[in-house]
Structure 1
Amino acid sequence: MRWSDMDVYQHVNNVAFLGYFEMARVSLFFEHPTHDEKTGMRRGLVVHSHEITYKRSVVYDADPLDIDIWVSGIRAAAFTCHYEVFDHGQLAVTGSTVLVPFDFAINRPRRMTPEEKAWLQRWTDEPAG
């Protein structure tokens, strides 16, 4: 949490959680080691949509929040990241983000490679399809 995430009511502002979700995705997609760029999701992603459910308010604290992240719904050209945010062991926020692989060179969505799908499958508990 950052001091600037707190709002006038002394709790973390609702929009800050989108930033926390983004940090969890960056950690998953860019900080986990991969053999090469084809096996991770480094070729480009854009956000299609977000969904957030606030279970309880979070008060600013120097202790970090814990965020669980996993993947579901792996399709040809989209997948979903899910999040659970825990504050001192209590579930505070749940959410999801639909992500679309994107080719920035031609400014269009693209299909995932088989390697990307296999890499994403590591972060889901769904059977490979």
Structure 2
Amino acid sequence: MNAPLRADATPHLEDFPYRLTDNVRFADLDPNQHVNNAVYASYFETGRVTLVKDRAYGLMPPGLGWIMVRLDIHFRAELRWPNTIEMGLGVSKLGRTSVTFDQVVFSEGVCVASARSVSVLIDQATRKPTALTEDVVANLRRWLRRGVEIAQGE
């Protein structure tokens, strides 16, 4: 069973097992002096890429790579500069060729944005989707968002 992250549910950082911190940059601001909505896509990308590209986590088998096919963002509060952010990521669904991540950005204990993204594993030579390997599935299970259970073979 996959527990969806309801758009209106208030996320809790402790529910996301993969975490990292970053700084809000002055360049992230828009004319309203808060972080521009487009910048959040970069914050979420940083979370995904740092997880999957770290060879220690075993999510990048030779000859395979990841492409993002969907990103849904829920903007929850203004974020201003100067500031630091805490980002969280958790796996919420495993498909045949894809993984769905739930992601959050927190500042000063407040969730300022949440997202759901879908990434597909591809063969780098053919650029076609390929089935998740047993090792990738096992390694992704380490990062399940709290409250999510994924049935075997899903």
Aligned length: 124
Query: Looking at both structures, which has the greater relative contact order when contacts are Cα pairs under 8 Å and sequence separation is at least 6?
Result: 2
1:46 is aligned, of 64, 67, 70, to: 67
**In structure 2, C-alpha distance between the alignment counterparts of 1:76 and 1:97, rounded to whole Å:** 16
Report if the CA contact (8 A) 1:121-1:128 is conserved: no
CA 1:64–1:31: 2 relative to 1, 3 Å = farther
Structure 1 moving runs of 4+ over 6 Å: none
Matched-pair identity in %: 28
Structure 2: stretches of 5+ with no match in the other structure: 1-23
CA 1:119–1:128: 2 relative to 1, 3 Å = farther
Give secondary structure in 2 for the equivalent of 1:29.
helix
Report if the CA contact (8 A) 2:89-2:101 is conserved: yes
Query: TM-score scaled to structure 1, two decimals?
Result: 0.88
Give secondary structure in 2 for the equivalent of 1:117.
helix
Report if the CA contact (8 A) 1:52-1:94 is conserved: yes
**In structure 1, C-alpha distance between the alignment counterparts of 2:112 and 2:55, rounded to whole Å:** 26
> What does 1:5-84 align with in structure 2 at a 5 Å threshold?
5-31=28-54, 33-34=56-57, 39-41=58-60, 43-61=64-82, 63-84=83-104
Report if the CA contact (8 A) 1:55-1:93 is conserved: yes
Query: TM-score scaled to structure 2, two decimals?
Result: 0.75
Give secondary structure in 1 for the equivalent of 2:84.
coil
Coordinate RMSD, CA, aligned: 1.5
**In structure 2, C-alpha distance between the alignment counterparts of 1:29 and 1:68, rounded to whole Å:** 14
